[in-house]
Every structure is written in structure tokens, then in C-alpha cells.
């Protein structure tokens, strides 16, 4: 069966007139008759009984009528749904982002995307850096935002900006008034950081290990917000990506540049290697690329 044949049958079955069916479908009578004949040959028997004065359905035609209505409705709905998705009147896209991005830079990008495409639903998975990579690699999400991975097996990485870690200090700390802080001065205080396997924790430990120094951890948490609040309460100090600076200030802590060693890592968009993105994901990718770069820390 073809869509054209079903539409021809439905028009005749509903009007019980070849003349009216031709007018509805903008077909000639020979073309309409040919479509009906082709459908009957495909199915194996007559669907219509036609005389000089009337047209009526055979029992098989009566059986086909509700099925044809449903098939054509499903076809039209599918066609309209895909048209809406291709024009981004409707759609869905899933994104994974590490917390330092999800809580700080991402909302601005999502707001811009929402203003442009208000009927596209975006699901954000706020997970640690390693999970972002895994979710993209396993095709659980189409896009990820993360630090540059050490290996790129199964993924592509588009660099956006370099982020430098900053010291996080209590507001009443003498170090909070300094133009910058070195690690020796910072580690003279109790240190608060994220728990493993957070990439922030790993980067801190790796950088200090190259200086033959261990990271002395007094308090650790799963959430950046908890780390910021602990520091603001005077429990100790910390170090986080500079893209978290605004969040730390909102929590009551202060941030200053950190050096000796300076810790820097590239942030970018993670894609499945060779993966063809949906229209919605491609559009979000463009918005992320422009907006996150505009928001990159200086």
C-alpha cells in the first residue's frame, strides 16, 4: 500500500462519490481509479462496489476504512512532528556538565537558548567531570562540558577557554586582601576541597605532587556550594576553578589569584566521536560555543 492509494480510498469511502473524491484530492478520474485499482490488487480483492448511480464499500472495504483513517492520521502526525523538530518548534536535547560549569556559566547560555527556541526541552545532568565524558562516550547525552580529558578515545573535544584556579578564603582572612596568594601561604591553613573522584581534587593533587607536596585535607565534600560555605564560615581555605568565583562570592567567601604553582586547565565541549548531532543539539552547541566563550574568566 502507498499513502497515495490510502488517501484515494479514504476520499471515495467518505464521500461515496468518485467525482467528489477527485475534487478533494485534485486528481483526474482516471488517476483516482488507477490508485483504487492498485490498492485492490495489492490487497487481493475489491474494496468498492461501483455502479452508474452509486458507490458503496464491500465488507473488506468497511474493514479497511477505520484502519486507513488511523494510518493516515499517524502518518500526518509523524510528518508534522518531524517538521517541527527540524524547524526547532519542538525538540529535546540532553547535556552533561561538570558542577563548576553547571552552577556558574551554563545558566546564562541556557537562557539565551530558551529565548531563541522556547519549545525545545533541555535536560541537564549535573555530574562530575569523569561522568560527563562517560555519558557522552556511551551516547547517553549528545553534548558535554568538561575539562579536557587526558585521552580522547570515543570522543571529540572542542576547546573553549583556559581556566585558572583561584584561592578561596574566609572574608576576614588577612590573605583575602592580598593581590595574590602562593600555595605555601594557603596551605598554612586548614584545607577544604571536593572528594575524589572529582577532577578539581585530582588536578590539585597532581599540581602539588609535581612540587613534591601533598594536599593536606582537613574537610572534604561532594558539593562546591558546601566547600564555599565552609570557607565563608572560617573553617579553612580552598582552591577552585576561577569560573566558580561568582558562586564563591555569593556564598560569602573571597577569591584571589593563586600561584606557585599556577593550575590551569582547558574547558570545552565534549562530543561523541563521529556522532551526528540532532538539529536541537547542533543549535545548543552553537549557543554554548558563543556564550561560554563570552563568559570565560579573565
Question: In the numeric block, which cell numbers belong to residue 290?
Answer: 558563543
What is the mean pLDDT of the segment spanning 90-115?
Answer: 90
Give the model confidence (pLDDT) of 165-201 as tens digits: 999 999 999 999 999 999 999 999 999 999 988 888 9
Q: Can you tell me whether residue 212 is helix, strand or coil?
A: coil
pLDDT, tens digit (0-9, with 9 covering 90-100), for 15-35: 999 999 999 899 999 999 999
Reply yes or no on whether the pLDDT at 254 is more than 50. Answer: yes
DSSP reduced 3-state for 273: coil
pTM score above 0.75: no
> Tens of pLDDT along 51-65?
878 899 999 999 999
pLDDT of residue 120 exceeding 60 = yes
Residue 297 pLDDT? 45
237: DSSP letter: B
Pick the residue with more confidence: 145 or 121? 145
For residue 237, how many other CB atoms are within 10 A of its CB? 26
CA distances from 258 to 1, 127, 179, 183, 253 (A): 71, 26, 9, 7, 15
Residue 69: the pLDDT is 92
Between CA 213 and CA 26 the distance in angstroms is 82
176/178 Cα distance (integer angstroms)? 6
3-state SS track over 131-175: HHHHHHHCCCCCEEEEECCCCCCCEEEEEEEEEEEEEEECCCCHH
Nearest residue to 158 via CA among 79, 84, 268: 268
Query: What pLDDT shows up at residue 191?
Result: 97
Identify any residues that bridge with 166 across adjacent strands, giving them in sequence order.
Answer: 240, 257
Pair 2, 36: CB distance under 8 Å:
no
Amino acid at each position: 500500500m502507498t499513502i497515495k492509494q490510502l488517501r484515494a480510498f479514504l476520499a471515495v469511502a467518505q464521500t461515496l462519490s468518485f467525482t467528489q473524491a477527485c475534487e478533494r484530492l485534485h486528481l483526474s478520474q482516471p488517476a483516482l481509479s488507477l490508485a483504487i485499482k492498485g490498492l485492490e490488487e495489492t490487497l487481493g480483492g475489491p474494496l468498492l462496489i461501483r455502479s452508474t448511480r452509486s458507490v458503496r464499500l464491500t465488507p473488506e472495504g468497511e474493514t479497511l476504512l477505520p484502519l486507513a483513517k488511523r494510518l493516515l492520521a499517524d502518518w500526518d502526525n509523524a510528518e508534522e512532528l518531524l517538521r517541527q523538530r527540524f524547524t526547532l518548534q519542538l525538540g529535546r536535547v540532553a547535556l552533561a556538565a561538570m558542577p563548576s560549569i553547571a552552577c556558574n556559566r551554563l545558566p546564562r547560555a541556557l537562557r539565551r537558548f530558551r529565548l531563541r527556541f522556547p519549545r525545545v526541552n533541555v535536560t541537564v545532568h549535573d555530574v562530575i567531570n569523569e561522568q560527563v565524558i562517560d555519558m557522552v562516550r556511551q551516547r547517553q547525552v549528545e553534548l558535554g562540558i568538561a575539562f579536557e580529558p587526558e585521552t580522547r578515545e570515543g570522543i571529540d573535544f572542542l576547546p573553549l577557554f583556559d581556566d585558572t584556579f583561584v584561592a578561596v578564603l574566609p572574608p576576614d582572612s588577612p590573605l583575602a586582601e592580598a593581590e595574590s596568594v602562593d600555595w605555601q601561604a594557603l596551605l598554612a591553613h586548614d584545607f577544604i576541597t571536593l572528594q575524589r573522584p572529582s577532577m578539581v581534587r585530582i588536578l590539585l593533587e597532581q599540581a602539588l605532587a609535581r612540587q613534591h607536596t601533598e594536599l593536606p585535607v582537613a574537610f572534604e565534600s561532594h558539593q562546591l556550594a558546601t566547600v564555599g560555605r565552609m570557607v565563608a564560615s572560617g573553617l579553612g581555605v580552598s582552591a577552585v576553578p576561577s569560573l566558580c568565583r561568582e558562586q564563591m562570592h555569593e556564598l560569602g567567601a573571597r577569591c584571589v589569584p593563586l600561584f606557585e604553582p599556577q593550575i590551569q586547565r582547558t574547558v570545552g565541549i565534549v562530543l561523541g566521536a563521529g556522532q551526528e548531532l540532532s538539529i536541537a543539539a547542533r543549535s545548543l552547541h552553537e549557543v554554548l560555543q558563543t556564550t561560554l566563550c563570552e563568559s570565560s574568566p579573565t
